[in-house]
Amino acid sequence: MSPVRPAADQAGEGTVLPHDNVVGDGSGDVATTEAQLPVVVSTSGEERRGEYGEDGENEGEETATVQGSKEGTEELLRKVVYSEEAAYKLYCDYGHRMGFSIRKGKQSYFTGTKRIRTKDYFCSKEGLKEGEKLTDANFNDPHTRTNCRAMVRFRVNDHGEWKVIRLVSDHNHNLARPEERHLLRSARSLIAGRSSSAEAMLYGGYQVQGGAPQLPAGSTSATNNVENSKQHLLRTGDLQGLVSYLKTRANEDGMFYWDVQLDQGGRMTNFFWRDGRSRIDYDCFSDVVVFDSTCRLSKQNLICAPFVGVNHHWQTTMYGCALLADESVSTFVWLFKSFLESMGNRHPRSIFTNLDQVVSKAIEEVFPNTCHRIAHWHIQKNAHSRLGALNVSKVFNKMFTKCIQGCDSEAEFEETWSQMIHEFKLQDNKWLKKLYKLKHKWCSALNKCTFDGGIEYEPQCDSMSNIFSSVADKLTSLSAIAVAVDKQSEDWREKELEEDTRCLQKPPACIIKHSDILNHAAKVYTHRIYKLFETDFLDGCGATKFKELPCDDNNTHQFEMTMQGRGSRVCTVLLNLSTMELSCSCSKFETMGLLCPHALKALSIKNICKIPENYILKRWTKDAKKWVFNPKQYESSYQECMDDDAAYCNYVMRYAYDLVTKSQGQDDLRKALWETLESGEKELEEYLGNGTQYAPSYAS
């Protein structure tokens, strides 16, 4: 054996040691790939070596040294692996079971080579952050390093076998509870590696065999008339590749849905797909949908049209995507019907689209009771190409923006629009004339009772077309585009998971620590929604003048509110103390689902220290995704399940899928779910055995 040499010089007191990679357990630790991140270590290099042992252990030593508890260490100590990646994964698995994230540490090499001799991995809370003091308040904060000593050391022999030779198993901080362990960052990277085929396909070069496309039974839809079909532009092999990818996804995901439209010649023209997670998200947040058909794939001469929404963290979430060969009414009617079918025929309350008459006609036919809105970002985008030199006028832009979303009433809108048209001599502008005729679909003042979930202000939505266009421009095959769309969806879900982690680990910090209503909001809302609530609370209580008006009813109080620095606009608030009903003329709760500054001011005036339950929208809370599929939560749904076989099967399958999704990648939760299913199966078998001699056959 060759003697070993350290990878880095020994560190002195307070020295910064480079680590190969960092995998944290929340927003406090940043995940990178092969990055050199400085970590301030509280002990000198000699002290650290003395604690963990020398790099050059006795050659004949086979038994690992364990410092601390041996609980749960059997597999880690016993297993032999054959690569650095496998060693990292082995310790990640151990950390996942125990409840901590890991970070990659230093390594040593055989002298004169780049062959690794020993490799260390640490708990992610190893070391101390420079300048940070440890206190009782921040010790278990996921952002805080606690100088935890937990670590493992692997040694590599001449045969390339990686074995654990030293393990420090005790931690100086709290470990994640079983229900939180899937949120650990290193655990999430493992789960993604196990379950996600989309990224592997995208970067591995997804290949399929040529030949005529074969569609599975039940996955096709025919249309009587698809005008101007562009099927001849698509190669058979390209279509087969897309179909093969969708079939693969359907085999992997029991709730995956896809559909294809055929023309009169039986040729495939349009595709739609969504995965099981999209169905779960739609069940939780189906009140608002954004449909964008502006992304054209120039290489394929197709349209990439995603359906998206906004989740409980005010982030973009994917509901499905389509690849369309044409923009006819019949195509969009087929697509919207396919989308509805995939979502259990549950209609959204509002749907936002681009300014397109064909899309509008299809929406009128398929979504007759859904409020159709034209997205503000699309109007602003079109204005740049339609209005020429006016775009550089600050006065015009200010008036135009006010017409879109700054007016408080229809009268104010009409006055502002008329002033803008006359001042800039735009009476003959055809685009503005067309826009004005559709004012009820885009003017905020005319949609004060329509819920939009703040989608117009969610920053990702206005760049959605750019996201999908940039993806498509780099790819040539349809299957690669579908994979890239799914990868984008996974990226959004990763961000959602990070926010879920933050919400589980600690409530948001209240700017006024002893405010009861802010503490209540911090307890129920997600972090991002809480910050919106907090801003409105501060505006209402710190920057709002009020005047109370007399009311005939002693339980009802009426206020006129004027916000400082916002002009002379007056909002009227009605508060009934017996029923705790609130209303404000600004209608923020009706559109956004959060109480406005004026309503919060009224609550403060009357010393009401909690948000009334009727004004806490579940879709914005930390529990937005809990109990969604348990019909006992809603009497009508439960009765429907008891009375209708199809409804019963639908609810049970979605309920089970949600539970399976939550348990993915977690051994303890998987075991618990299996035991629950086995117990339920035994009860059913006993009941069937006692109730009848022959159990009914579900195969017939």
Confidence of residue 182 (pLDDT cuts 50, 70, 90): low
pLDDT tens figures, 99-115: 888 989 999 988 888 88
Each residue of 20-77: pLDDT tens digit?
Answer: 333 334 333 333 333 333 333 333 333 344 444 444 444 444 578 888 888 888 888 8
> For the chain, how far is it from start to end, CA to CA, in angstroms?
69
Domain boundary residue, one of 600, 620, 640: 620
Instruction: State pTM to two decimals.
Output: 0.65
Whether 38 maps to a domain, the answer reads no
Pick from 454, 485, 516: which residue ends a domain? Answer: 454
Residues 493 and 347 in one domain: yes
682 assigned to some structural domain: no
Is 239 found in the same domain as 355? yes
Give the confidence band of 216 by pLDDT, cuts at 50, 70, 90: very low
Q: Say whether both 255 and 360 belong to one domain.
A: yes
CB 262 within 8 A of CB 240: no
Residue 680: inside a domain? no
Whether 312 maps to a domain, the answer reads yes
Shared domain for 263 and 381, answered yes or no, is no
Give pLDDT, residue 32: 31
Q: pLDDT exceeding 90 applies to what percent of the chain?
A: 41
- Residues 356 and 468 grouped into a single domain: yes
The pLDDT-based confidence of 178 (bands split at 50, 70, 90) is confident
**8 A C-beta contact, residue 15 and residue 114:** no
Q: Which domain holds residue 638?
A: 631-673
Q: Which pLDDT score, from 0 to 100, does residue 253 have?
A: 85
501 and 562 part of one domain: no
Domain at 249, CATH number = 3.30.420
User: If you average pLDDT over residues 668-684, what whole number do you get?
Assistant: 79
pLDDT-derived band at 441 (thresholds 50, 70, 90) equals very high
Q: Which residues pair with 235 in a beta bridge?
A: none
Is the pLDDT at 133 greater than 90, yes or no? no
Is 82 contained in some domain? yes
Q: What is the pLDDT of residue 235?
A: 55
Q: Report angle CA 627, 286, 439 to the nearest 5 degrees.
A: 150
pLDDT digits (tens, 9 = 90+) for 489-519: 998 998 998 898 889 888 898 999 899 999 9
572 and 615 share one domain: yes
**Alpha-carbon gap, residue 346 to 273, rounded angstroms:** 17
Radius of gyration for the chain, computed over Cα atoms and rounded to the nearest angstrom: 30
Per-residue pLDDT tens over the stretch 414-435: 999 999 999 999 999 999 999 9
- Residue 431 included in any domain: yes
pLDDT of residue 139: 78
CA-to-CA distance for 318 and 306, rounded, in angstroms?
8
Query: Poorest-confidence range of 160-164, 406-410, 456-460, 531-535?
Result: 456-460
Which of 443-447, 528-532, 628-632 has the weakest average pLDDT?
Answer: 628-632
For residue 23, tell me if it sits in a domain.
Answer: no
Which one is predicted more confidently, 119 or 144? 119
The 10s digit of each residue's pLDDT in 375-394 is 998 898 888 888 888 888 99
96 — pLDDT class (breaks 50, 70, 90): confident
Q: Which residue has the higher pLDDT, 515 or 673?
A: 515
Predicted pLDDT of residue 691: 52
The verdict on 655 and 517 lying in the same domain is: no
359 and 473 in a common domain: yes
CB 26 within 8 A of CB 142: yes
pLDDT by residue (tens digit) across 556-578?
A: 999 999 988 767 789 999 999 99
Tell me the pLDDT of the chain averaged across its residues.
Answer: 78
Domain co-membership, 344 together with 242: yes
pLDDT grade, residue 629 (50/70/90)? low
Residues 6+ apart with CB under 8 A from 126: 39, 103, 105, 145, 147, 148, 149, 150, 151
Domain membership of residue 1 (yes or no) is no
260 and 333 fall within a common domain = yes
Structural domain total, the chain = 5
Asked whether residue 285 falls in the same domain as residue 304, the answer is yes
Residue 403 has pLDDT above 70, yes or no: yes
